[in-house]
Chain A
């Protein structure tokens, strides 16, 4: 296992188009997180899965954003009708935990540019 992987690494899309990103966590990790990061800021929490269940979703997340983790393994994040403000780095992280604290391992991220 080479760690958390994300695909694609870069995505340029026109405003109004839909995009989908994929995250493959470390295989034994039950927790998966999606974050968004803009230049000069720390990661902003988007949503969190424990196995296949989506346990929390940021209030900042509009209804254009949806995430799935159908079999408790890989996850997808879809953004519909993209806007220029969606341009950011989208980070996926995974951890192994059952209610206690666990170190999160991050993927390399998907950099989205909406033109």
Chain B
């Protein structure tokens, strides 16, 4: 079966750094997305990785290791507005997005 695992919840302090991990087992791989979703709102795109390595975009970076079926999202200089759920999604061999359940990130002052 297809499976994506992420921690259910994480807590971090404003100004700090947090790493959200995602492991996946899918039938084929055509890329991995990270989305941010605030409570009651739609997911919004953060990053896309298809090759191994680190993609940096401002305060957010995403890493991929295809051989390990592993990705992480790194958030630096955390702000209160970063409190949200972070969803990992993998595109399988049929180009369908397989979603994780999301990691709820709580930022404390």
- Give chain A's interface residues, CB within 8 Å of chain B: 33, 40-45, 48, 56, 91, 97, 99, 101, 103-109
Give the Cβ gap from B87 to chain A, nearest Cβ, in Å.
5
Give the Cβ gap from B108 to chain A, nearest Cβ, in Å.
20
CB < 8 Å neighbour of A42 from B41, B48, B101: B101
Is there an interface contact between B91 and A101, defined as CB atoms closer than 8 Å?
yes
Contact A40 to B102, CB < 8 A, known contacts A104-B45, A106-B43, A108-B42: yes
A-B contact count (CB 8 A): 51
Q: Which residue of B lies closest to A41 (CB)?
A: B101
Q: Does B44 contact A (CB under 8 A)?
A: yes
CA of A105 to CA of B43, assembled, Å: 8
Q: Does B7 contact A (CB under 8 A)?
A: no
- Give chain B's interface residues, CB within 8 Å of chain A: 4, 8, 30-31, 33, 41-45, 48, 50, 87, 89, 91, 94-102, 104
CA of A27 to CA of B91, assembled, Å: 23
Is there an interface contact between B95 and A101, defined as CB atoms closer than 8 Å?
yes
Is there an interface contact between A101 and B50, defined as CB atoms closer than 8 Å?
yes
Question: Which among A42, A48, A101 has the highest number of chain B CB atoms within 10 Å?
Answer: A42
